[in-house]
């Protein structure tokens, strides 16, 4: 029986690429997204490629919805033992312009969402004596103008990850974080639009600062997650891996 994975924010971008990769690796994948229709597009692509997948609509910051989502996954696919906390939103602004809602929304999706899903899914992992949790951080955790909320959330996920590694290691569960640098996605296009920079110019400027000389792709992140949730990564835990084409990009 294949292992069961949950990928939050799996409707597009990094989440969709990760869901497809894990399915290609042989896992049954539950694609969770705020919009179940969007999640369904990824799940359908997985099934068309011969994989096993379901789409689940849920607000990751809502405790009751998270509990219901995990129960549905367990009932339809089996107990989940792989969790990828990828769901995220942007509410960028300079500190003096940032509203309470800008702050709370980002904290709710990134931090509360990762907490709720990890707390709920860990029960299945502990019962199985095996589990993998990967949370998506970012190079923004190191500080980024206009992203006080996002940077704080992404840094917080690193501390959360290290604590989970300490608490859950004795049960055969590892916890790691992946911190992407510049990845060409809808979210980064939204950032370019926010700052009023043409997308091609935005990419060119970003690439000029990346040692490997290209923009990142969602698949670059998905491949790293694939390793971290594999059987072979059982002695890697509590780590933050920067997928950024260099030390920081």
pLDDT digits (tens, 9 = 90+) for 31-80: 999 999 999 999 999 999 999 999 999 999 999 999 999 999 999 999 99
* Per-residue confidence (pLDDT) for residue 17, from 0 to 100: 98
* Per-residue confidence (pLDDT) for residue 173, from 0 to 100: 98
* Per-residue confidence (pLDDT) for residue 50, from 0 to 100: 98
What rounded mean pLDDT belongs to the chain?
Answer: 97
* Per-residue confidence (pLDDT) for residue 122, from 0 to 100: 98
Whether residue 23 has pLDDT greater than 80:
yes
Assigned token pair, 211 = 């040692």
How is the beta sheet containing 80-85 ordered, strand by strand?
53-57, 28-33, 4-8, 80-85, 131-136, 173-180, 240-243
φ/ψ of residue 19, rounded to 5: -60, -45
Q: Which position among 117, 150, 182, 202 bears the catalytic label?
A: 150
| Structural domains present in the chain | 4-181+217-243 (3.40.50.720), 183-215 (no CATH)
R_g of the chain computed on alpha carbons: 17
Whether residue 249 has pLDDT greater than 70:
no
In whole angstroms, give the CA distance from residue 203 to residue 189: 9
Is 171 known to be catalytic? no
């Amino acid at each position: 029986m294949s292992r069961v994975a949950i990928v939050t924010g799996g409707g597009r971008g990094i989440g969709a690429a990760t869901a497809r990769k894990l399915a290609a690796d042989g896992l049954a994948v539950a694609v969770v997204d705020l919009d179940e229709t969007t999640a369904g597009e990824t799940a359908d692509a997985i099934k068309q490629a011969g994989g096993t997948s379901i789409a689940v609509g849920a607000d990751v910051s809502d405790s009751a919805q998270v509990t219901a989502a995990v129960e549905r996954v367990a009932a339809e696919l089996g107990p989940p033992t792989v969790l990828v906390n990828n769901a995220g939103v942007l509410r960028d602004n300079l500190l003096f312009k940032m509203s309470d809602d800008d702050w709370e929304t980002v904290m709710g999706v990134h931090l509360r969402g990762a907490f709720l899903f990890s707390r709920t899914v860990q029960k299945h992992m502990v019962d199985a004596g095996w589990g993998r949790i990967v949370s998506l951080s970012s190079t923004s955790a190191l500080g980024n103008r206009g992203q006080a909320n996002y940077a704080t959330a992404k840094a917080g996920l690193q501390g959360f990850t290290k604590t989970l590694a300490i608490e859950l290691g004795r049960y055969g569960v590892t916890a790691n974080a992946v911190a992407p640098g510049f990845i060409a996605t809808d979210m980064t296009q939204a950032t370019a639009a926010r700052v009023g920079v043409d997308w091609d110019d935005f990419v060119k400027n970003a690439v000029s600062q990346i040692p490997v000389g290209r923009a990142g792709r969602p698949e670059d992140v998905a491949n790293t997650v694939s390793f971290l949730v594999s059987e072979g990564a059982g002695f890697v835990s509590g780590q933050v891996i920067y997928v950024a084409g260099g030390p920081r990009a």
